Amino acid sequence: MNTHSRRSFLARSASVSFGFAGLSTSLARGSTSSILDMLGGISEDLTGYGPLIADPDGIVDLPKGFSYRIFSKTGEQMDDGFSVPGKHDGMGAFPFINEDGTIDPDRTIVIRNHEIEDAHKTTGAFKEPGSLDLIDESKLYDPGYGRPSRGGTTTLVYNTKLQKLEQHWLSLAGTERNCAGGITPRNTWITCEEASSVQGYRFEQDHGYAFEVPATTSPQLADPKPIKAMGRFMREACCTDPRTGIVYMTEDRHDGLIYRYVPNDAEDLHAGGQVEVLRIDHTPSLDTRNWDDFQILPNEPMSIRWIPLDDVESPRDDLRYRGFKAGAARFARGEGMWWGNDGVYFAATTGGKGYHGQLWHIMPDPKGVHDKIELFIEPKDPSVLERADNITFSPWGDIIVCEDENKPPNLVGVTMKGDLYRLARNAMSNSEFAGAVFSPDGSTLFVNIQNPGWTLAITGPWKNF
**Average pLDDT of the segment spanning 236-260:** 97
Reported as a single tens digit per residue, the pLDDT across 145-192 is: 989 999 999 999 999 999 999 999 999 999 999 999 999 999 999 999
Sheet holding 445-449, edge to edge: 67-71, 454-459, 445-449, 433-438
Q: What are phi and psi of 97, to 5 degrees?
A: -100, 120
CB 230 within 8 A of CB 275: yes
Looking at residue 122, what is its pLDDT?
Answer: 85
Sheet holding 152-159, edge to edge: 88-97, 103-114, 152-159, 164-173
For the chain, the first-to-last Cα distance in angstroms comes to: 24
- Cβ of 345: how many Cβ atoms within 10 Å? 24
For residue 233, give the amino acid letter: F
Report the distance separating Cα 167 and Cα 332, nearest Å.
38
Report the distance separating Cα 74 and Cα 193, nearest Å.
20
Please report, for the chain, the start and end positions of each structural domain, with discontinuous segments joined by +.
Answer: 1-76+379-465
Whether pLDDT at 444 is above 50 = yes
Whether pLDDT at 10 is above 60 = no
Report the distance separating Cα 206 and Cα 175, nearest Å.
10
Report the distance separating Cα 307 and Cα 290, nearest Å.
23
Residues 6+ apart with CB under 8 A from 138: none
Reported as a single tens digit per residue, the pLDDT across 346-402 is: 999 999 989 999 999 999 998 878 999 999 999 988 888 999 999 999 999 999 999
Looking at residue 128, what is its pLDDT?
Answer: 80
Looking at residue 464, what is its pLDDT?
Answer: 61
Report the distance separating Cα 47 and Cα 233, nearest Å.
39
Sheet holding 420-426, edge to edge: 52-53, 60-63, 420-426, 410-414, 399-403, 388-393
Query: Which pairing describes strands 343-348 and 433-438: parallel, antiparallel, or unpaired?
Result: unpaired
CA nearest to 383, candidates 29, 15, 62, 3: 15
Report the distance separating Cα 93 and Cα 65, nearest Å.
24
**Cα–chain center distance at 77:** 26
Looking at residue 199, what is its pLDDT?
Answer: 94
pTM (two decimals): 0.91
Reported as a single tens digit per residue, the pLDDT across 97-153 is: 999 999 999 999 999 999 999 878 788 999 887 788 889 999 999 999 989 999 999
Looking at residue 21, what is its pLDDT?
Answer: 33
Whether pLDDT at 8 is above 60 = no
Looking at residue 115, what is its pLDDT?
Answer: 97
